[in-house]
Amino acid sequence: MRRTFLKSAVAAAALTLAGTTFAAAETTIEVQYPYSHLFKTTYEKIIADFERDNPGITVKMRAAYESYEDGSQTVLKEAITNRTPDITFQGLNRQRILVEKGIAQSLEPFIAKEAAFEKDGYHKAMLDLSTFNDRVYGLPFSVSLPVAYYNMDIVKKAGWNKEMPKTWGEVIELCQAIKASGQDVDTMFWGWNITGNWFWQALNWSRNNPMLDATETKVNFDNDHGQWAMETFADLVKGCDMPNSEWKEAMANFSAGKVGMFFWSTSALQKITDDSAGLYTLKTDLYPDVAQGGGLPAGGNAGMILATDPVQAEAAWKFLKYATSGQGAAYVAQTTGYMPPNKAANEIILKDFYQKNPNKFTAVRQLPLLRDWYAFPGENGLKITKVIEDGMQSIVSRERADEPQAVLEDIAKDTQKLLPKASGS
């Protein structure tokens, strides 16, 4: 969307008056991003630095999206009336629809003009997260992976003297120990209701089990690995007496010292660290039970350029590149729990930072496990997300906690109905 303001109210370009040249005006770009409670400070730092170094460009931030789903739905609606921002930061699993709809602009023309783009830290593994049909459409801004959070005071009072759980069976064992110790706390919360079925995909990816087959027209999670995933989820709910909590409530309770274990995105680490300071010892550890050859879905978001006006698009590129490289990327790690998806920031600028902040280094240790956060194809992608969420809700509510295989069958059947049909069918 174009927002260009001229320093002269009547000039449309540089004017010459009485031998004096007046420059054409500064450019204002509009940017919108998700989760203000996580990123507000991050963007404030980035924008201040960017505007200092680019005096001809002003960055105007729109009100933050409430979630990744809200972000994609908002842009789809705004595209109808040409009211989209110049840059939108979208969940990694929500980029696809904007590419398929022709709303997002390819970044290839901008990348082609850069002398040493990959050397600036944009290595292939990260760019792949935003690559569609061999063309890059976004620059990853923040990357998260699921990790385990532990209230070590509760763990020690439970008499747990072993290493942190390496399997879901050991997680349930620790839950039982916490219950047996008589502590008035919830034993565990596992983030089933996080955005985009992320934890459902994590269970499946931990067994290298993609959501759909290679044609993207047939459900794949209705196999043995998918059955293991749903049964494991039901075992955690029952074996740990997991509360049927909304995620914000669960996070607040963990931060307040009322929950022993919290399995969630590394994105919340800074907030949990701040909120729990002085209450107990917080420790993060690797996400349990990732089998050999398995992985974990990459969470986080990427910046996409929607501006079609050449002047706006060029200014948007400058900001997007600035926000995702060097110090801009480092701010992500310093102010949130996310990892900056920029190699230079992680390995050079943040080397000492991670040594001093081992809880934040946990996710970096898991980077070799990186897999796609899958986006279901077609018009019904968001509906499929809701189908899976509703099925998992029926287990957490205890309505169907004893029939995980039947729940899986229903989810698979309903998902299949919503998928695009195979060519010729």
DSSP state string for 190-220: E-TTSGGGHHHHHHHHTTT--SB-TTSSSB-
In a domain, 20, yes or no: no
Q: Both 385 and 239 in a single domain?
A: yes
Residue length of the chain: 425
Are the C-beta atoms of residues 404 and 395 closer than 8 Å to each other? yes
Q: Both 394 and 330 in a single domain?
A: no
Are the C-beta atoms of residues 95 and 375 closer than 8 Å to each other? yes
Q: Both 215 and 340 in a single domain?
A: no
Q: Where are the beta strands (DSSP E) in 25-116?
A: 27-32, 57-61, 87-91
Are the C-beta atoms of residues 27 and 56 closer than 8 Å to each other? yes
Report how far residue 175's alpha carbon sits from residue 172's, in angstroms, rounded to the nearest whole number. Answer: 5
Q: What would the mean pLDDT of 130-154 be, rounded to a whole number? A: 95
Q: What would the mean pLDDT of 177-194 be, rounded to a whole number? A: 97
What pLDDT was estimated at residue 393? 98
Domain boundary pick from 371, 388, 406: 371
- The number of beta carbons lying within 10 Å of the beta carbon of residue 313 is 21
Q: Both 364 and 243 in a single domain?
A: no
In a domain, 219, yes or no: yes
In a domain, 252, yes or no: yes
Q: What would the mean pLDDT of 367-388 be, rounded to a whole number? A: 91
Percent of the chain with pLDDT over 90: 77
Q: Both 109 and 160 in a single domain?
A: no
In a domain, 424, yes or no: no
What pLDDT was estimated at residue 234? 98
* Confidence band for 126, pLDDT divided at 50, 70 and 90: confident
Report how far residue 418's alpha carbon sits from residue 416's, in angstroms, rounded to the nearest whole number. Answer: 5
Contacts of 112 (CB under 8 A, 6+ apart): none
Average pLDDT, the chain: 90
Using a 10 angstrom Cβ sphere, with 0-12 exposed, 13-18 middle and 19 or more buried, the burial of residue 131 is middle
In a domain, 10, yes or no: no
Q: Both 54 and 137 in a single domain?
A: yes
* Confidence band for 214, pLDDT divided at 50, 70 and 90: very high
**Which residues on adjacent β-strands are paired with residue 27?**
4, 57
What pLDDT was estimated at residue 327? 86
Q: What would the mean pLDDT of 257-276 be, rounded to a whole number? A: 96
Report how far residue 280's alpha carbon sits from residue 178's, in angstroms, rounded to the nearest whole number. Answer: 16
Q: Could you tell me which residue, 349 or 309, shows the higher pLDDT?
A: 309
Percent of the chain with pLDDT over 70: 93
Q: Both 290 and 257 in a single domain?
A: yes
Q: Is the pLDDT of residue 133 over 50?
A: yes
Torsion sign (Cα): 174, 179, 180, 183: positive
What pLDDT was estimated at residue 284? 98
Helix (H, G, I), strand (E, B) or coil at 384: helix
Q: What would the mean pLDDT of 49-58 be, rounded to a whole number? A: 96
In a domain, 408, yes or no: yes
Q: What would the mean pLDDT of 194-221 be, rounded to a whole number? A: 96
Q: Is the pLDDT of residue 16 over 60?
A: no
- In the chain, the number of structural domains is 2
Task: Tell me which residue range forms the domain holding 343.
Answer: 25-144+298-371
* Confidence band for 119, pLDDT divided at 50, 70 and 90: low
What pLDDT was estimated at residue 424? 55
Q: Is the pLDDT of residue 193 over 90?
A: yes
Q: Both 258 and 277 in a single domain?
A: yes
Whole-Å CA distances, 31 to 24, 62, 189, 315:
22, 6, 34, 11
In a domain, 382, yes or no: yes
What pLDDT was estimated at residue 77? 97
Q: What would the mean pLDDT of 267-286 be, rounded to a whole number? A: 96
Are the C-beta atoms of residues 232 and 203 closer than 8 Å to each other? yes
What pLDDT was estimated at residue 166? 98
The residue with tokens 């943040």 is 350
| Angle between helix 404-418 and 381-396 (nearest 10) | 170
Are the C-beta atoms of residues 409 and 222 closer than 8 Å to each other? yes
- Give the residue from 140, 142, 128 showing the smallest Cα distance to 269: 142
Q: Both 220 and 241 in a single domain?
A: yes
Q: Is the pLDDT of residue 328 over 70?
A: yes
What pLDDT was estimated at residue 25? 60
Q: Is the pLDDT of residue 394 over 50?
A: yes
Report how far residue 211's alpha carbon sits from residue 92's, in angstroms, rounded to the nearest whole number. Answer: 16
Q: Both 317 and 384 in a single domain?
A: no
Q: Both 133 and 167 in a single domain?
A: no
* Confidence band for 4, pLDDT divided at 50, 70 and 90: very low
- 70: amino acid identity, one letter: D
* Confidence band for 423, pLDDT divided at 50, 70 and 90: low
- Give the residue from 197, 219, 383, 393 showing the smallest Cα distance to 297: 197
Q: Both 170 and 185 in a single domain?
A: yes
CATH number at residue 168: 3.40.190.10
Q: What would the mean pLDDT of 6-34 be, rounded to a whole number? A: 55
In a domain, 1, yes or no: no
